[in-house]
Amino acid sequence: MFNKDHFERLKREETGASAIEYGLIAALVFLVIVAAVNLLSGKTSNMFNNVSNAVIENT
């Protein structure tokens, strides 16, 4: 049923490896996006608060 040639062919196949690589790249891109959103959200929130306070003070 399973002989040495069968296992050698399985060892040479790389079809699953590319799917795993694409999955890892997608996960890395997702983590970069999440980190960027977290870093920018605080700055954006502060900016809107500053603008809001300036509008309130000048009216």
> How does pLDDT run along the chain (59 residues), one tens digit per residue?
567 787 777 777 766 778 888 999 999 999 999 999 998 888 888 899 999 999 999 87
Question: Hunting for tokens 């490896």 — which residue is that?
Answer: 17
- Reduced to 3 states (helix: H, G, I; strand: E, B; else coil), residue 49 is helix
- pTM comes to 0.55
Count Cα atoms within 13 angstroms, Cβ side, for 4: 0
Distance CA 26, CA 18 (A): 12
Distance CA 42, CA 51 (A): 14
